[in-house]
Amino acid sequence: MKHGGSIHKRVMYYAQQEKEVLYCDLNIKDTGYTERQAEKSREKYGSNLISGRASDTIFYRLRRAFINPFTTVLLALAVVSFITDMLQVESFSRNVTASPIIFCMLVVSGMIRFIQEMKSKKVADHLVSLLHSTVTVLREGKWTELSSSELTVGDQVRIFAGDRIPADIRLTKTADLFLSQSVITGESAVLEKTSGKISIQDSCTYSDYKNIAWMGSAVMGGSGEGIVLAVGPDTVYGGFSGMISQRKNKFDQGAASIARVLLRFMGVLIPIVFVACGLTKGNWAAAFLFALSVAVGLTPEMLPMVINACLAKGSASMGKKQTVVKNINAMQGFGSMDVLCVDKTGTLTGDIILLEYYMDILGNESERVLELSYLNSLYHTGVRNHLDTAVLKYREMPGLGEQLGRAAEQKAKLDEIPFDYERKIASILVGGEENNLLIVKGSIEEVCRRCRYVEYKGEKREKKPENSSDVHAVVDEILEDGMKVLAVAYKPVKKNNLTKEDETDLILIGYLAFFDAPKKTAADAIGKLKALQVGIRVLTGDQKSVAASVCHRLGIDTSQILTGAELDAMSEEKQIMQIENTMVFAELSPKQKAEIVETLQANGHTVGYLGDGMNDLPAMVESDVGISVDTAAEAVKEGADVILLKKDLNVLEEGILEGRKAFSNMTKYIRITASSNFGNIFSIVIASVVLPFLPITSVQLLLLNLLYDTLCLVLPWDHVDQDACSRPLEWSGRTLGRFMKFFGPVSSFFDVITFLFLYFIFCPALCGGEFAQLTETAAQTQFIMLFQTGWFLESMWTQVLILHLLRTRRIPMLQSRPSGPVMFVTTVGILFFTVLTFTPLGKIIGMMAMPVSYFGFLVGVVILYLFVVTVAKGIYVRKYKELF
């Protein structure tokens, strides 16, 4: 293929060629590709996937389950253990059990994670399947709807208003096609696209490619056809997708901060363990092996599994409540979101907007105004909106419908400039008997600013300054009632095509007043969101007075309302303060909406954005959680992280609660496990310094952590206290270190008590003396096994039971009961761990059956431990006002 070595060169080349060259080079017929041709092209140029779902295969999940930091450490332990046990000791004392046990642990942990990963994938695939992006493609002579993921280079496609461009496309036919590239380039301007060849230089920007529709662009108006030039990561959007994803990386940032806390603890404790064991025991190879075990012991090994399970469980629960999570990491955003920005229309108000009045410049009913506005709405090819729909409904009315139909027959469309959020008007050129007619409909300010004349009862006169007060006299009272008002103007012209320069010297003829009633459920939903400590910000393009009327009825603070013009007039410092303290913003452009979201984020908020219009897309992409509805334009749904199957804030409130539940259970695991592991390792450091032997073997420590973390997989199904869901939750490691240092030493204190009891009382009583006095190897071995088994049981009992104490800030069992699965699994886990010490497997890993007398001590220590932790928890909550 000519000039095909570089994607950019390929696009440049075909932008400057006639479309026939493209048809020839790519072997495209008039009937489009066959399925076989499409498959060959897909093999050559790749598939149309960017988000990573192409790599989300069973093999990928299997590889991720078995190749990760935890399994790498286990494998290293197995190799070191094999070398130390099999190659560096005499044959009569070789221990052939450690390496196979570690290898079995590696296989078991990998399989558990793989099974959980596949369950998460199944949930995610099911939810994503509820929403699909389609595109009209010519295949085997038929225009058919296909998933955009099936597109390939050489496919012929059709695009319409409201679509999101699914690939980089060389346009071959256009009809008033206008695109917005703001999502990928940041440009707010709406660009008209053409199909003819152009002259391009290497220094040209993406906007200069007039005949190329870049992937990710949104179709604002018109329609077109084209040939796919690039798909997936080869597209321009593929290069930008990384930049866009970086805006929504708070989940990864939070995970990284947690990892840094754990690494700092490991960086301090592990060298201490290694040096202490090496100096006191004299076996540096064994010390190295034990230090590696400590590294694993300090890390919540199943963290990725538990996080995936919590997110998948939360996503599935939200799916049952009419909320589809496209991006599973958005669950974190739901958990920590403290500001929700909403568009007014359709969110706070109903989806059904009615045209209440069509009137002349003095407020009298005027069929002439209705006729011109009907033609404007009928021929407008931009994204269909509620206002145009309301106007077009009049063609169904007896009498008026026939009149409007005749007007459409007599005045055919010649050209248009679709509505955009810079001009805030839509212009249509229709044919006439003597002159063609330019009809303009849009914002009162923008239309009146372009008018030189006014018309009343067929008489045209030049507009005077006092006419502005006449406009306000008619319009202001209507606006105060919460209605949306548009102005209608026209101008006779002789030309057959339009430019923006033609939108001047217009004749103002009248107004349209629309009623958009507040939703009955909106006020109640806003109250619920406020109770969840989620602040509401209303961001609308409507007039200030309309926004004030609607928001006031819903109980939203309207004491201060800022318009887009007022924001632009402020300094950056004042903007930051005003945006933080303002609840309602009106007369905004899409770019201004995105800037408000950015400012709120810079002020430290986690921001969600709920909208369904093309004007909401830039702000939605910029937000931490983009939320849309299933009836939104395709481009808007593509840019959203979460889709509501019902356009109701009450659905969103339920979604936020589910997100916080999942987030809370995820945080439980991280904090409880990290603090418990820290306590264990701290105890090991103490024991390694003072004891003549290791308090626990590498295999025992790994098995303890593996089995405990396996039990934690049930946490996603745990109950969450209502007060834990009543506020946004922070996803970071900021307070993790504090939590670990507070509760970890409490565990270590009781470990030390157990050490003293075992070393000085229990083991000497059963072995015939203190360890230093024992001369026989068998007696020393029995002493060590008794000590290690005793601490294994005490550590295991306290580590499992601490789940019940620290899972809630309340009194466990009495004020807050765990879920059935958590209760069952922890009970069975304790029994299983305890019985393990009595089995041959326990003997293989260096443990032995303990007498009944030890369990009396164990029960007493555990009860005292639980009491002390309960007291400590109360102190912690009083001091820091939170548990998690």
Stated as kind and residue range, the H or E segment containing 468 is helix 466-480
Identified catalytic residue from 343, 502, 616, 641:
343
CA dihedral 590, 593, 594, 597 (to 10 degrees): -170
Q: What is the bridge-based pairing of β-strands 212-213 and 459-462?
A: unpaired
Tokens read off for 309:
């399970």
Alpha helices in 321-399 (DSSP H): 330-336, 367-379, 386-392
Helix, strand, or coil here: 394? Answer: helix
Cα–Cα distance, 846 to 786 (Å, whole number): 9
Closest CA to 51 of 232, 236, 230, 248: 232
Alpha helices in 625-697 (DSSP H): 634-639, 649-690
Contact by Cβ (8 Å): 546, 477: no
Stated as kind and residue range, the H or E segment containing 292 is helix 284-298
DSSP class of residue 723 equals G
Would you list the DSSP string of 532-563? TT-EEEEE-SS-HHHHHHHHHHTT---SSEEE
Contact by Cβ (8 Å): 410, 493: no
Helix, strand, or coil here: 68? Answer: coil
Would you list the DSSP string of 482-519? T-EEEEEEEEEES-SS--GGGSSSEEEEEEEEEE-PBP
- For this structure, is 343 an active site residue? yes
Helix, strand, or coil here: 156? Answer: strand
Helix axes 649-690, 777-806, angle to 10 degrees: 160
Cα–Cα distance, 730 to 604 (Å, whole number): 11
The b/e string for 187-200 (b: 16+ C-beta within 10 A; e otherwise) is ebebbebebebeeb
Stated as kind and residue range, the H or E segment containing 852 is helix 852-880
Cα–Cα distance, 97 to 82 (Å, whole number): 9
Cα–Cα distance, 651 to 644 (Å, whole number): 7
Cα–Cα distance, 507 to 461 (Å, whole number): 9
Locus of tokens 């430019």: 499
Contact by Cβ (8 Å): 84, 289: yes
The b/e string for 584-604 (b: 16+ C-beta within 10 A; e otherwise) is bbbbbbbbbbbbbbbbbbeee
| Cross-strand pairs, 485 | 513
Is residue 542 left, alpha or beta, with left meaning phi > 0 and alpha meaning psi from -120 to 50? beta
Cα–Cα distance, 158 to 173 (Å, whole number): 9
As a whole number of angstroms, the longest Cα–Cα distance in the chain is 121
Cα–Cα distance, 730 to 736 (Å, whole number): 11
φ and ψ of 223, to 5 deg: -150, 170
Cα–Cα distance, 705 to 245 (Å, whole number): 35
The b/e string for 3-36 (b: 16+ C-beta within 10 A; e otherwise) is eeeebeebbbbbbebebeebbebbebeeebbeee
Catalytic residues: 343
